[in-house]
Amino acid sequence: MIEARLKLAWPGFGLDVDLSLPGRGVTALFGQSGSGKTTCLRCIAGLERASEAFISINGEVWQDSRTGIFVPPHRRALGYVFQEASLFAHLSVLANLQFGLKRIAKDQRRVDLAQATELLGIGHLLERHPQHLSGGERQRVGIARALLTSPKLLLMDEPLAALDSQRKSEILPYLQRLHDELDIPVLYVSHAQDEVARLADHLVVLEAGKALASGPIGETLARLDLPLAMGDDAGVIIEGQVTSYDHAYQLLCLRLPDTLLDIRVTHAPMAVGQALRCKVQARDVSLTLHDSEHSSILNRLPVRVVSEMPADNAAHVLIRLDAGGTPLLARITRYSRDQLGVHPGQALWAQIKAVAVLA
């Protein structure tokens, strides 16, 4: 478990959080600029010294202001990845990686050079220098260098923020591999909801230096009382399991957790039994009173209305739905709500186009 109780006061800004986070997987710190995300990370790294603090990483105390414990940054077993890779320009990629490797004694190394280069797909770049790398390649090298310190915690401060959409698409699969294949807890700072939905297991929502919410990603994204629900990219994630694949139509059938409900997704082939994470955006969910087979919309799920919240657009409302235990959000017009008579407890059908499911 990661425990971080932090109090810090600056002119015009204060940080006051009490977080108990999973000791494995990816925890995302999400919020707008000025919410305190990076300050949290810097306090955990020891780069900022909170006036009142208790920081413990899976039982190892890094700071306790009550007893005077403060482990300096260079003695904290962490890797830190910034927005910019900050590689040594005069060194080759290999030499940059070896710099990270030399920081840890041989008998304490848990990640070796071959593993790091394979995980990040940078084996063909080892002889190049940073000025001959793309932004995405530099960032992958920076992540590999951080991993080679065999950290007990990996801190990532908006590692994709400086990249264009093409470079982000290039690097995201590698970040997912780290999530799937390494048993190193990650604290990942971002203000991009799609990024968080794709990578995180646990979500902390920060605003003005305080934690508005902290919980599993699926449940937290579905909360109507958080700012997340108001954005145009609001939605939920579904962790499903592949039940079949239609090669003729390139459609994958995905079983919702703990149900007999399936959704179809346009996707490359996957083996039956494999897990897949999808995002369903609220704006892509429509509601109807009755099921209809005569529609181009392939996904029609029986749902129950849980609650309603006014949206940021006065013409819209947000509806939270339950699909056999899986939460969904729907953004519809107030007119549609009134025409359907939508109310809590009501049984409806949710419709989601297969092409709209983001996998």
Q: Does 107 score more than 80 pLDDT?
A: no
Q: Quickly state the pLDDT bin for 172 (edges 50, 70, 90).
A: confident
Better-predicted residue by pLDDT, 349 or 113: 349
**Angle, vertex CA 142, rays to CA 177 and CA 17, nearest 5:** 80
Token reading at 217: 């990603």
The residue assigned the tokens 């008998």 is 107
Domains defined along the chain, listed by start: 2-230 (3.40.50.300), 235-356 (2.40.50.100)
The pLDDT assigned to 295 comes to 85
Work out the average pLDDT over 3-20: 94
Instruction: Please give the Cα distance from 72 to 172 (Å, whole number).
Output: 32
Radius of gyration of the chain measured on its C-alpha atoms: 22
Q: Quickly state the pLDDT bin for 356 (edges 50, 70, 90).
A: confident
The pLDDT assigned to 167 comes to 81
Q: Quickly state the pLDDT bin for 262 (edges 50, 70, 90).
A: very high
Q: Would you say 44 and 3 are in contact if contact means Cβ atoms under 8 Å apart?
A: no
Distance of CA 37 to the CA centre of its chain: 14
Better-predicted residue by pLDDT, 347 or 197: 347
Dump pLDDT digits (tens) for 193-213.
Answer: 888 888 899 999 999 999 999
Q: Quickly state the pLDDT bin for 101 (edges 50, 70, 90).
A: confident
Dump pLDDT digits (tens) for 130-146.
Answer: 999 888 889 999 999 99
**CB-based contacts of 345, cutoff 8 Å, min separation 6:** 304, 305
Q: Does 230 score more than 90 pLDDT?
A: no
Q: Does 169 score more than 90 pLDDT?
A: no
Dump pLDDT digits (tens) for 237-261.
Answer: 998 999 999 999 999 999 999 888 9
The pLDDT assigned to 47 comes to 94
Token reading at 5: 């109780």
The pLDDT assigned to 305 comes to 98
Q: Quickly state the pLDDT bin for 359 (edges 50, 70, 90).
A: confident
